[in-house]
Amino acid sequence: MLDLTYCDFNGTFDIQGFETGRSILTKLKTLNLGDNKFNESIITSLSTLSSLTNLDLSQNPMLGPFPAQEFTALENLEMLDLSYCGFTGTFEIQGSERVPILRKLKTLNLVSNGFNESVIKSLNTLSSLTTLDLSYNPMSGPFPAQELSHLINLEELDLSGTQFNGTPNIQACKTLSILKRLESISLYDNNFDKSIISCLSVLPSLKILDLSRSKSLGTSFPVQGIPFLEQ
């Protein structure tokens, strides 16, 4: 484990000596580089660390779309933190049909980037995901039920502050029933009305639902739909 947070490093993370044939950091499993000044090219620099299971690059100034291909060599990665990095657009995993990318990833933190709602569909190939945090990315539209239904191992989901503002149709809501392991959802600081509760009632294992600061729930307590949280 190597922790280099708050060190004010910048640029890339060049692993000197790799070209000479020496193996460097071959057993490293956890690398924390949060809160430095690395740019997006650092991901290429880390490609030789194939033993990594946990990687924290949060709060580094990166730009543009997510460079998925650069993660191809990190085949053992289980936790990836890219919060507050400045990525935008989608989370396209190019070539995922040909080369498995991030196939072992269980925890993905993308808090406070510039991803839009299409990012969720882009994550469909990450079938091992158990924890997904997309809070405070600029999204819009109804709750993405159909897009989320592909993440069959999901246990925790955070969509706080994403500004979703509607409930999908009944058929879309029914697709959520396949998420049999999903126990916790945070929809804090969004614009959902009471109908979202009925939509989420199809989730068989849901135990925690955070709707605080929902601006459109109305003035009466939403009794209908709440009983499904008794499990």
Split at pLDDT 50, 70, 90, the class of 21 is very low
Give the integer Cα–Cα distance in Å for 46 and 77.
12
For the cut 90, the answer to whether the pLDDT of residue 37 exceeds it is yes
Residue 16, pLDDT > 70, answer: no
Percent of the chain with pLDDT over 70: 84
Residue 96 pLDDT grade (very low, low, confident, very high; cuts 50, 70, 90): very low
Question: What pLDDT score does 22 carry?
Answer: 56
| Pairwise pLDDT comparison (63 vs 104), residue with the higher score | 104
pLDDT band at 93 (very low <50, low <70, confident <90, very high): low
Give the mean pLDDT of 121-148.
94
DSSP state letter for 44: H
Instruction: Please give the C-alpha separations between residue 6 and each of 11, 33, 118, 183, 229, in angstroms, as whole numbers.
Output: 14, 8, 32, 34, 41
Exposure string (b/e) for 36-62, b if CB count within 10 Å is 16 or more? bebebebbbbbebbeebbbbbbbbbeb
Q: Record the tokens describing residue 209, joined without a space.
A: 């639902």
pLDDT beyond 60 at 172: yes
More confident call, 12 vs 42: 42
Can you give the pLDDT at residue 98? 47
Q: What is the pTM of this model?
A: 0.90
Residue 147 has pLDDT above 80, yes or no: yes
Residue 61: what are its φ and ψ, rounded to 5°?
-80, 85
φ, ψ at 69 (rounded to 5°)? -60, -25
Amino acid at 170: I
Mean pLDDT of the chain: 86
106: how many CB neighbours lie within 10 A of its CB?
A: 18
* pLDDT given at position 219: 57
Average pLDDT over residues 79-92: 88
Average pLDDT over residues 181-206: 92
> Which tops the pLDDT comparison, 101 or 227?
101
Compute the average pLDDT of residues 16-45. 81
Considering only residues 100 and 64, tell me which one the structure prediction assigns the higher pLDDT. 64
